């Protein structure tokens, strides 16, 4: 029987997604990675700070 270990992850987003397409891709990647971790049963928190809070609309994903 295979057992899985549930991990806790914190992803910090500090980059301003409105500055460039590259920064927008970094933010999108962080969110997609968090969704994948959550789908696999891990606890995930995304922390937006600094430039990462510009232009964001915060929603809680459960």
Per-residue pLDDT, 48: 87
Q: Which residue has the higher pLDDT, 16 or 54?
A: 16
* Rounded distance between C-alpha atoms, residue 31 and residue 4, angstroms: 23
Tell me the per-residue pLDDT of 21-62, one tens digit each, with 9 for 90 and over.
998 899 899 999 999 999 999 999 999 887 767 755 555 555
26 token code pair: 């970094």
Q: Residues with Cβ < 8 Å from 38, sequence gap 6 or more?
A: 44, 61
């Amino acid at each position: 029987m295979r057992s899985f270990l549930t991990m806790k992850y914190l992803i910090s987003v500090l980059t301003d997604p409105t500055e460039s397409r590259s920064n927008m891709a970094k933010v999108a990647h962080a969110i997609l990675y968090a969704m994948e971790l959550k789908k696999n049963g891990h606890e995930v928190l995304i922390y937006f700070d600094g430039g990462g809070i510009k232009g964001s609309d915060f929603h809680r994903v459960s």
